[in-house]
Amino acid sequence: MDVRAWLLILWLLTLAALVLVGWKARDYRNTALSAMRRVDAISERFTKTDFYAEENRRWRESGERPDVVFLGASITKRWDPEGKLGPLKVAARGVGGQWPSHYLLRFKPDVLDLAPRAVVIKACAISFRPGVDEGGLRDAMLTMLDLAESHGIRPVLATSIPVREDGNVLYGSGGKILDRTVNDAMVPWNDWLRGLAAERDCGLIDFWRAMADERGFLPEALAADDIHPNAAGYDRMTETAGPVLEALLARKEP
């Protein structure tokens, strides 16, 4: 084989290597960009405080204030009780994927700055997933309760609604099913809220008792999926919240 043939082979091999490196680099870049987008999304979900900036601005500029702010995660975000609670003016402030420790970061713009008469605080099932600090959840709830009371806002604690039976399973690393379930954390949490409401003489909306079946799960008739209520489930929530809020707000201001 002459020199020109060897040079051609060498050139083709070099070209193939460059193409491979370029392909790998593009693949790495796409993977890195995808990872960065996921980090940005997670960071925004957990640290952003202006999800409802425009809605809050309209409330402030109107010269009015909501009677009730509902503070929570995805279930609260999907809930629209406006017009279904009699004359009460409502502001729903739910952000999917958050738990009470994150609510605390946006408590000022979403609650204190609106100066509602009452705030309903409810944790969703995501609060009871692996890696969520139970002590941090309780500390955040206590802090929000103190902040509300110190600003003349009546705090209302809401028990978490049950998950459907297929939503009770928790998975660890590698997809391994854990011995611990959602209810193992949610049931004690709800018991703690009931005790706290009695101790602090604040309102309690017991969604769990209003919606759980005899086995402690969200029944199919009230479920849109393994975690969220359907239209009938949200109607049940509204029916449960109404009398509590009516009675609480009828009380003389503290």
The answer to whether residues 85 and 238 touch, using CB atoms and an 8 Å cutoff, is yes
Residue 229: DSSP 8-state = B
Q: What are phi and psi of 72, to 5 degrees?
A: -175, -155
Helix or strand holding residue 53 (H, E):
helix 53-62
* SS3 at position 132: coil
CATH topology of domain 62-250: Rossmann fold (3.40.50)
* Residue 95 vs residue 27, higher pLDDT: 95
Most confident of 26-30, 78-82, 189-193: 189-193
For the chain, what are the domain ranges?
1-47, 62-250
Task: State the residue for tokens 């890195």.
Answer: 32
Task: List the Cα angle 235/93/194 in 5-degree steps.
Answer: 65
Query: Once rounded to an integer, what is the mean pLDDT over residues 78-97?
Result: 93
Beta bridge partner(s), residue 69 = 91, 119
pLDDT at 52 (0 to 100): 96
Q: What are phi and psi of 108, to 5 degrees?
A: -65, -55
Query: Once rounded to an integer, what is the mean pLDDT over residues 13-39?
Result: 58
Name which of 227, 208, 51, 46 is nearest 136 in CA terms. Answer: 46
The answer to whether residues 98 and 81 touch, using CB atoms and an 8 Å cutoff, is no
Q: Is the pLDDT of residue 37 over 50?
A: no
CA atoms within 13 A on the CB side of 228: 14
Pairwise CA distance, residues 171 & 131, whole Å: 11
Residue 120 token pair: 């309903």
* Residue 231 vs residue 173, higher pLDDT: 231
Pairwise CA distance, residues 9 & 5, whole Å: 6
* Residue 21 vs residue 127, higher pLDDT: 127
Name which of 56, 54, 80, 34 is nearest 238 in CA terms. Answer: 80
Q: Is the pLDDT of residue 180 over 50?
A: yes
pLDDT at 38 (0 to 100): 44
* Residue 154 vs residue 7, higher pLDDT: 154
Q: Is the pTM here over 0.85, yes or no? A: no
pLDDT at 47 (0 to 100): 67
Pairwise CA distance, residues 96 & 192, whole Å: 23
Q: Is the pLDDT of residue 216 over 80?
A: yes
Least confident range from 23-27, 143-147, 161-165, 193-197: namely 23-27
With cut-offs at 50, 70 and 90, classify the pLDDT of residue 82.
Answer: confident
Query: Once rounded to an integer, what is the mean pLDDT over residues 173-201?
Result: 91
With cut-offs at 50, 70 and 90, classify the pLDDT of residue 114.
Answer: very high
The answer to whether residues 138 and 192 touch, using CB atoms and an 8 Å cutoff, is yes
* Residue 209 vs residue 48, higher pLDDT: 209
Q: What is Dmax (Cα atoms) for the chain? A: 102
**What ranges in 65-164 are assigned the alpha helix state H?**
74-78, 100-103, 107-110, 134-150
Query: Once rounded to an integer, what is the mean pLDDT over residues 48-73?
Result: 95
Q: What are phi and psi of 87, to 5 degrees?
A: -85, 0
With cut-offs at 50, 70 and 90, classify the pLDDT of residue 34.
Answer: very low
